Structure 1
Amino acid sequence: MSMQQLLLMGAGHAHAFVLEAFAKQPEPGIAITVVSDSPLAAYSGSVPAWLAGECTLRETQIDIAALCQRANARLILSPANTVNTRERNVALANGERVNFDVVSVNIGSTLASPQQHGENLPMLLAMRPLGSLHQRWQALQNDIRHLPSGGAQRVVGVGGGAAGCETLMSVLAQLRKQRPDIDWQGHLLSASNALLPDAGRLPRWLTRRALSQAGITVHSQQRGETLVEGGVTTQDGKRIDADIVLWATGAVGHPWLVSTELPLDQHGFIRVDNTLEVTGQPNIFAAGDCAAFTPALPNAGVYAVRMGPHLADNLRHACHGEPLRPWQPPKRVLSLIGTGEGRAIASRGGFGVSGKWVWQWKKRIDARFIARFNPPFEN
């Protein structure tokens, strides 16, 4: 059998597990290539701690280059522009084309940007794509350093899911530390009537309490739509005053996927079967936020983490022409939501608990996860 070309597009959480699996159990007959826009990949679970100023950016990152070295994989630092499913190759932004026998896509998601009308718009921080968040956050912090002393600043978070709540509380905690001379006022727009629609009643109550303790006003059934002068408008035309808008809603697939022959759902995510193989596309796989599983899974990094080891096995099977095994998503997952000021909420199904010890527990879990993939000599 000739050498099988396995291509990993993107350096998401699931692909970290794939590289780890091939590092532990090498396959001489499989040549692995990874395409990524960076040698470092952010771990989504640690992002709130970084936004809150409790750890450095580097402490949130997985060293993909070192992981590729361990797995004897070639790393190309260029994002993909498109994938040709018929000719079995991928075109990269650097002009290179990479052929494959088996390919896996783990490129995360992006956000549908808000419409923008007029001048003097609020400062905008979009929370996706994750890979370039540090650049947008740095730019916003630079602008904040130049704000005059005194007065108030209204920070409006758009999105009532776990990411939207967590992001707003973390950012506010950091801004209050960075500029205590400014009165930071928080507001959260949630399109649904309940925060954290996938969580139980107790976790939702704990989250609402945490938002209240952080001085954040919740606006339920208000879908943020358009940035206008001095604020953001909602679906019913109401204007919410804002100086800064954190955009954490409307997850969609990357735009370039539309030009491919990959089957996409209404949000631009790649449809996959329960084996994580793309529907109707043999030897093409997708995992993490960019994959549309049936029934639909929430956009949460924990599912990409759970998919990872199974994806590694099925990619190995595909390279050997062996039958694939179905993946069964967990019915309940543990969700750990940072609430700023060194506290967090643990949620699993209807169970919920909060406290400083939960935050310390979350930080230990996240640090262990990152250390699992990084060289042991790193701090």
Structure 2
Amino acid sequence: MPMQRLLLIGAGHAHAFVLEAFALQPEPNIAITVVSDSPFAAYSGSVPAWLAGECTLRETQIDVAALCQRANARLILSPAQTINSLLRHVALENGEQVNFDVASFNIGSTLTLPQQHGEQLPKLLAMRPLSSLHQRWQALQNEISHLPDGGTQRVLGVGGGAAGCETLMSVLAQLRQQRPDIEWQGHLLSAANELLPDAGRLPRWLIKRALSKAGISVHFEQRGETLIEGGVATHDDKRLDADIVLWATGAVGHPWLEETALPLDKHGFIRVENTLEVTGQPSVFAVGDCAGLTPALPSAGVYAVRMGPHLANNLRRACHGEPLSSWQPPKRVLALIGTGDGRAIASRGALGLSGRWVWEWKKRIDARFIARFNPPFED
């Protein structure tokens, strides 16, 4: 077999499985290149614990550079800027061009940020893209450290899904610990008329109870649209006061994808078949949040994790010119939602549980997942 050039664009969860698979079963005729903006990749499941101050950033990260070394893959620390599927090459931000025979996207998603009108706007923390969240969170914490003593700060979370609820509770827990002299008030905007719309009644009740215990008021059927002086304006021109806004809604594909010939859905995600191959683009794949399947999947890292082993198998098949196999998404997945107080909620379909033991269980699962891909001994 002639040498095949396999290009992994992004270092998301699914690509960690691909690198692991090729490390365990090397292919001398497949040359792997990974392009990423960082030698480390955050595991989304551990982000709430880090936001709450329960672990370091490094403890949430997969060592992509070490994983590439194990898989004998070349790592280029520059994100992709555009792709030419016909000529089979990708242009990187550093000016380099990388040729490929088979390529895969695992670059996550970003957010549609709110419009901004006026001066004295609230501080904004956008929860995506995940790869640069640590920089935005550190900048916000620096600003908070310089606030005058005492007083009240209103923190408004926009987005009533699991991620929006979890990040608001985690961030409030850390802010209250960082500045106990300030009274931190929490508010949550949900465009829907209920929280966790895809979950059962019991998980929804548990998350509502957790938000109440965290002192967070929930505003239903309110879609945040614009940052204005001293707060947020909603879709029906209501105003909610806020000093800090956590933006966790409106996930979309990265804007640079619009300049390519890749087929995109209405949210800017790359359209894929059930083989995870891009629609109409042979030997180009997309997985995780950047992939648009039909029917659409919720935006959750668990799906990228489930796709990973199947993607590794299909990339190997594509390199060998073999038929691809279909991937079937799970009908139900287990969601473990941290509540910022040393507890967590387990949600699967109509079932729901909560407690400290759930949080400890979640932390063990997350730590085991990260350790799976990292070197056993680190400095």
Same fold (TM over 0.5): yes
Tell me by how many angstroms 1:88 deviates: 0.5
Aligned residue in 2 for 1:326: 326
Aligned residue in 1 for 2:63: 63
**1:279 is aligned to 2:279:** yes
**Residues of 2 paired with 1:170 and 1:378: CA distance?**
27
Aligned residue in 2 for 1:133: 133
**1:366 is aligned to 2:366:** yes
**Which amino acid letter does the alignment assign opposite residue 122 of structure 1?**
P
**Residues of 2 paired with 1:357 and 1:265: CA distance?**
40
Aligned residue in 1 for 2:357: 357
Aligned residue in 2 for 1:31: 31
Aligned residue in 2 for 1:312: 312
Write the deviation string for residues 28-77 of structure 1: whole angstroms up to 9, x where unpaired.
Answer: 11000000000000000000000000000000000000000000000000
Tell me by how many angstroms 1:165 deviates: 0.1
SS for the counterpart of 2:339 is: strand
**Residues of 2 paired with 1:200 and 1:373: CA distance?**
33
**Residues of 2 paired with 1:83 and 1:302: CA distance?**
27
Aligned residue in 2 for 1:249: 249
Aligned residue in 2 for 1:2: 2
**Which amino acid letter does the alignment assign opposite residue 166 of structure 2?**
E
Aligned residue in 2 for 1:205: 205
Which structure 2 residues correspond to residues 9-28 of structure 1 after superposition, within 5 A? 9-28=9-28
Aligned residue in 1 for 2:54: 54
Tell me by how many angstroms 1:120 deviates: 0.3
Aligned residue in 2 for 1:340: 340
**Residues of 2 paired with 1:23 and 1:205: CA distance?**
44
Tell me by how many angstroms 1:341 deviates: 1.1
Tell me by how many angstroms 1:127 deviates: 0.2
Aligned residue in 2 for 1:83: 83
**Residues of 1 paired with 2:240 and 2:344: CA distance?**
28
SS for the counterpart of 1:364 is: helix
Aligned length: 379
**Residues of 1 paired with 2:172 and 2:37: CA distance?**
30
SS for the counterpart of 1:6 is: strand
**Residues of 2 paired with 1:201 and 1:27: CA distance?**
49
**Residues of 1 paired with 2:135 and 2:85: CA distance?**
33
- Using the size of structure 1 for normalisation, the TM-score is 1.00
**1:215 is aligned to 2:232:** no
Which structure 2 residues correspond to residues 229-244 of structure 1 after superposition, within 5 A? 229-244=229-244
SS for the counterpart of 1:32 is: strand
**Which amino acid letter does the alignment assign opposite residue 60 of structure 1?**
T
**Residues of 1 paired with 2:23 and 2:45: CA distance?**
24
**Which amino acid letter does the alignment assign opposite residue 11 of structure 2?**
A
Aligned residue in 1 for 2:260: 260
Tell me by how many angstroms 1:150 deviates: 1.0
**1:295 is aligned to 2:295:** yes
Aligned residue in 2 for 1:95: 95
**Residues of 1 paired with 2:257 and 2:156: CA distance?**
31
**Residues of 2 paired with 1:198 and 1:42: CA distance?**
25
**Residues of 1 paired with 2:43 and 2:378: CA distance?**
16
Tell me by how many angstroms 1:198 deviates: 1.0
- Using the size of structure 2 for normalisation, the TM-score is 1.00
**Which amino acid letter does the alignment assign opposite residue 368 of structure 1?**
R
Tell me by how many angstroms 1:221 deviates: 0.3
Tell me by how many angstroms 1:2 deviates: 1.4
Write the deviation string for residues 164-201 of structure 1: whole angstroms up to 9, x where unpaired.
Answer: 00000000000000000000000000000011111111
**Residues of 2 paired with 1:168 and 1:217: CA distance?**
11
Q: Percent identity?
A: 83
Structure 1 residues not aligned, in runs of 5+: none
**Residues of 2 paired with 1:199 and 1:64: CA distance?**
33
**Residues of 2 paired with 1:301 and 1:48: CA distance?**
13
Tell me by how many angstroms 1:378 deviates: 2.6
Write the deviation string for residues 205-238 of structure 1: whole angstroms up to 9, x where unpaired.
Answer: 1000000000000000000000000000000000
Tell me by how many angstroms 1:352 deviates: 0.2
Write the deviation string for residues 310-354 of structure 1: whole angstroms up to 9, x where unpaired.
Answer: 000000000000000000000010000000110100000000000
**Residues of 1 paired with 2:203 and 2:91: CA distance?**
44
**Which amino acid letter does the alignment assign opposite residue 301 of structure 2?**
G
**1:106 is aligned to 2:110:** no
